[in-house]
Structure 1
Amino acid sequence: MADPGSEQSWQHLRGAAGRLRRHAAFWLQAFTQPSIDLSLRTHAGLVTRIVESPGVSLSEDELERLIAQLRVVAAKTLPADQLTYGIFSGARERLSRAIVTLISEEASGQPIAFNALSVMQVELDGAPVDITHLGLVMVDPEARGKGLSWVLYGLTTLVLFARDGLRPRWISNVTQVPAVVGMVSETFSDVYPSPRADARQSFAHLQLARGIMRQHRAVFGVGDDAGFDEARFVITDAYTGGSDALKKTFDEAPKHRDPQYADFCARELDYGRGDDVLQIGRIDLAAARSYLMEQVPHRSLPGLFAASVLLTLQRLVLPVLHWLDDTRSFGTLRPRQGNGR
């Protein structure tokens, strides 16, 4: 054990103080930002940034810089000019509904992976409901195998779930990759379709799928001429609406460690034609607990847990504080007039 007065002990204390300052800055942002724009260290030497609605929250220069970073990652896998849908369109209106998760090297700032989620609104039982579409995921080939999946496929939805007061959120996913089918099936609740024994299509699943296919094909680059099998939730001839460069053969598509997902995709999808599966599920308390216990590395749990708690408090406590403050306007709440009314 080191002498309390030794240089090693002082370095340890300084390191702890630095981590405390970083957590404090993260918590302060969580409480004060109107939309999420947070950065946290999720891996040694890597920083993850989550930006909600960049088309609204970022200036022109900041938005161009963010899109340029995404294109750096995309260019490592595909010629960037082959991607013309979603965030790569550059349209602010579309980017206003996006949530971008970007992983970069801490020292150099070099981007190595991203996930671009989108928020879609459809009707469920006659009322509007938001669905978080998991969107496009790209990883620099040199960064694969670094354990980034838990960030790219679950972290942002967990942060949104906490920020929204632990209300269950519907999610959707369109893919032909067995590894992604498995990741979604094992991360979220009530996922359909899936080869898991508990997968069932409910009427809610069907309503949401119909709404997505009717209103939001452009979000995931599926053309109007693509078909949709409502019994299996399979989009047929899906790569005709801007996502053509992402089409893969079955051999090219990354496989999940559990072979049931590859078997499922091989059975349900025609890779020669270019089929996709449309998965719909939910992030809820059961999914959040499973994600934290089974997918998040133990060394990352303390900071992630603290962030989730504070985002939850932001959603639950701030409305009360806003209601008690009668001097400023908050949404539909209005300040008192000078006469006390």
Structure 2
Amino acid sequence: MNAASARYIDTTLPAGRGLRSRIVERPALALEPDDLARMIADIRAVARTTLGENELTYGVFSGDRETLSRTVLTVVYDTASGEPVAFNALALLRVSLGGREIEVLHLGLVMTAPKARGGGLSAVLYGLTCVLLFVRRQCRPLWISSVTQVPAVVGMVAETFSDVHPGQPATRASFQHRLVARQIMRHWRHAFGVGPEAGFDEERFVITDAYTGGSDNLKKTFDQAAKHRDPRYGELCRLQLDYGRGDDLLQLGRIDMRAAARYLAKVAPPASVTGLIGRLALMLAQGAVLPLIHWLDDTQSWGSLRPWKH
């Protein structure tokens, strides 16, 4: 591992019985070329088991280094065989909010091989990775986004994260929600395979005719889309989305202490929590304790706050 790659997350955690997950932040920067090529081959192998001969050409599937330098990859493997069985590709999208640049964590594409479905892997692929990044950023609230037409995903996002719109009945679209949504649709639609001709209904947070920018093979009918155990999310999608045209909901929310606590208490597999605790303790030390020690040592520079060299 070189000095630059040491700044990024590259960790392996249990993901349930007989499974392990590898989480890599900005893999184009964190991994050596051969290791990166193996990870991309692994996610393509999962995609083939899911889509058959259909191929996706956008995002991480393109192998583009710029895309992979703002991606967080989570790949789940069968512990016994080493075979990849699921993955998630989160995208880090830069937007401006309150006069400063921030990163929005886009929940991205999730795929699970048919033989591994029904094991609660969505909780690992979404929540575990998000909690890890939240702690990595010293537990500062982090905006998240999701683009989907699948009621199960709409419900998962609404019940896992905070201040989610649309999806949480008590949450209304704030000015910040609208500002972030506008910038995502203006600058980042290519990150989730939405073409330039797609429309955006800001009142309903609905992307119209969304499946024309490389994600064409993900389009589903309402009957094909996986349902959530709470029928309210299916009803929301049925009423708001035109599945024949190919619409998506754009959901925005935050991961904060409340969301992290909900995930760890109710959703995360016990085995992954056990491994996560040690990782979180190390990251908290890196993010909070070590900066304090460094700050108290006034013989060293500390960036623009204490710029001297000696």
For the aligned pair, the TM-score class normalised by the smaller chain equals over 0.9
Match among 177, 193, 206 for residue 234 of structure 1: 206
Residue aligning to 1:209? 181
Q: For residue 107 of structure 1, report the CA deviation from its aligned partner.
A: 1.8
Match among 252, 257, 263 for residue 224 of structure 2: 252
Mapped to 2, the partners of 1:327 and 1:92 lie a distance apart of 39
Structure 1 residue identity aligned to 2:115? E
Distance 1:269 1:203, change over 3 A: same
Q: For residue 309 of structure 1, report the CA deviation from its aligned partner.
A: 2.9
* Mapped contact 1:122–1:211 kept (Cα < 8 A): yes
Residue aligning to 1:141? 114
* Mapped contact 2:54–2:217 kept (Cα < 8 A): no
Q: Which moved more, 1:328-337 or 1:295-304?
A: 328-337
Distance 1:201 1:326, change over 3 A: same
Mapped to 2, the partners of 1:152 and 1:303 lie a distance apart of 15
Mapped to 2, the partners of 1:203 and 1:246 lie a distance apart of 31
* Mapped contact 2:13–2:272 kept (Cα < 8 A): no
Match among 34, 37, 41 for residue 68 of structure 1: 41
Alignment of 1:272 with 2:222, yes or no, is no
Match among 103, 111, 115 for residue 130 of structure 1: 103
Match among 263, 286, 305 for residue 277 of structure 2: 305
Q: Partner of 2:50: helix, strand, or coil?
A: coil
Structure 2 residue identity aligned to 1:85? Y
* Mapped contact 1:130–1:170 kept (Cα < 8 A): yes
Mapped to 2, the partners of 1:107 and 1:333 lie a distance apart of 50
Mapped to 1, the partners of 2:303 and 2:217 lie a distance apart of 43
The unaligned stretches of length 5 or more in structure 2 are none
Structure 2 residue identity aligned to 1:63? L
Mapped to 2, the partners of 1:148 and 1:250 lie a distance apart of 22
Mapped to 1, the partners of 2:53 and 2:292 lie a distance apart of 46
Match among 192, 196, 207 for residue 165 of structure 2: 192
Q: For residue 310 of structure 1, report the CA deviation from its aligned partner.
A: 2.6
Mapped to 1, the partners of 2:38 and 2:298 lie a distance apart of 39
Structure 2 residue identity aligned to 1:269? L
Residue aligning to 2:145? 172
Mapped to 1, the partners of 2:228 and 2:179 lie a distance apart of 29
* Mapped contact 2:91–2:106 kept (Cα < 8 A): yes
* Mapped contact 1:115–1:137 kept (Cα < 8 A): yes
Q: Partner of 2:172: helix, strand, or coil?
A: coil
Residue aligning to 1:86? 59
Match among 177, 182, 191 for residue 155 of structure 2: 182
Structure 2 residue identity aligned to 1:101? T
Mapped to 2, the partners of 1:121 and 1:113 lie a distance apart of 27
Structure 1 residue identity aligned to 2:252? I
Distance 1:325 1:61, change over 3 A: farther
Q: For residue 41 of structure 1, report the CA deviation from its aligned partner.
A: 1.6
The 5 Å alignment of 1:150-165 reads 150-165=123-138
Q: For residue 59 of structure 1, report the CA deviation from its aligned partner.
A: 1.6
Residue aligning to 2:190? 218
TM-score if structure 1 supplies the norm length?
0.85
Q: For residue 332 of structure 1, report the CA deviation from its aligned partner.
A: 5.8
* Mapped contact 2:92–2:106 kept (Cα < 8 A): yes
Percent of aligned positions with the same letter in both sequences?
57
Mapped to 2, the partners of 1:264 and 1:112 lie a distance apart of 30
Distance 1:86 1:325, change over 3 A: farther
Residue aligning to 1:288? 260
Structure 2 residue identity aligned to 1:275? D
Post-superposition CA distance 1:222-268 (Å, at most 9, x none): 00000000001000000010000000000100000111110110000
Match among 285, 292, 307 for residue 320 of structure 1: 292
Larger radius of gyration: 1
